[in-house]
Amino acid sequence: EAEVAQSPRYKITEKSQAVAFWCDPISGHATLYWYRQILGQGPELLVQFQDESVVDDSQLPKDRFSAERLKGVDSTLKIQPAELGDSAMYLCASSLIPGPPINEQFFGPGTRLTVL
């Protein structure tokens, strides 16, 4: 069964350092999402791509976060510099197309970031 791949699974870094997370969506899925899930809360959308274009990044803290999907396939989310409050699970999801009725987002295992 096709799955969304993410790496690394765990990342520990010190504040002010740069970190990067990678996501490979299910083959053929044009839409890719990055979410942040703080412990005890539900996931919150950070950015959405349609192919290589950003559709929505209104919740992305652009002073320190950046995301790209250069060839419209895999994607990288970067934080520079990391802050203590960035400690969270970063989830990647993909869907065939956005919107109902077919939209189903498939989630990857996530990257758990700890900032010391």
43, 86, 88, 113: residue in contact with another protein (rule CB under 8 A): 43
Question: Counting Cβ atoms within 10 Å, is residue 85 exposed (0-12), middle (13-18) or buried (19+)?
Answer: exposed
Instruction: Give 74's DSSP letter.
Output: S
By C-beta, is 73 or 107 nearer to another protein?
107
Q: Which residues pair with 93 in a beta bridge?
A: 33, 107
90 binds another protein per the rule CB under 8 A: no
41 is an interface residue for another protein by CB under 8 A: yes
* Residue whose CB is less far from another protein, 43 or 115: 43
**Beta carbon of residue 66, minimum distance to another protein (angstroms, whole number):** 19
Distance CA 13, CA 75 (A): 21
For the record, the structure tokens of 85 come out as 């409050």
Of 13 and 106, nearer to another protein (C-beta) is 106
Using left for φ > 0, alpha for ψ between -120 and 50, and beta otherwise, residue 27 falls in: beta
105 binds another protein (CB under 8 A): yes
Residues in contact with another protein by CB under 8 A are: 4, 33, 40-45, 48, 55-56, 91, 93, 97-101, 103-110
